[in-house]
Amino acid sequence: TVLVAQNKIVHWKIVPNGDDNHASGSWTQVNTDHAIYDSHSLHSGNNIVITSATAGLYHLTGHIRMGNREANRLLVGIYEGGTGGTILAQTETVGSNRTGVYQCAEVNLLYRASASDSLGLYVYHDYGSDIGVVGSTQGHESWFEGYRISA
């Protein structure tokens, strides 16, 4: 049946459990410490670690919502191998360094993941002081999700 096939699709959605502060002017990893979905137990720390059984072509999405701040530049990226690793994709939104706005950015990509790839969600902003990435265990604020399209 269709339901049985869907249960075999590799998929995850990991989110910050609560607000997660990030310094201005450098790429930092988002604390994705809560798994909403994790079909094949790939969530390890703040990363998704691909196994030989789950390697393949993936659709990945990273979404960031910042807490009551708007930076001149807000970038979200998905890295393989952590900070200093390979940035797979990033996107940027621009603003005007003010409060009263919950600035968002989202990145989507197709990626052929290999065994032992460690994927994580990262953020960069230039606000001038820390800004919190808004988190929620319900998964509607900030998230990193992916699903395998083919082996």
In this prediction the pTM is 0.92
pLDDT at 15 over 50: yes
- Average pLDDT, integer, range 93-122: 96
Using only C-alpha atoms, what is the Rg of the chain?
15
Q: Residue 63, Cβ neighbours under 10 Å: how many?
A: 19
Task: Summarize pLDDT for 42-95 with one digit per residue, the tens.
Answer: 999 999 999 999 999 999 999 999 999 999 999 999 999 976 789 999 999 999
Q: How many Cα neighbours within 13 Å face the side chain of 107?
A: 24
Amino acid identity for residue 132 in this structure: G
Residue 5 pLDDT level (bands cut at 50, 70, 90) = low
Q: How far apart are CA 137 and CA 120, in angstroms?
A: 18
CB 121 within 8 A of CB 85: no
CB 118 within 8 A of CB 30: no
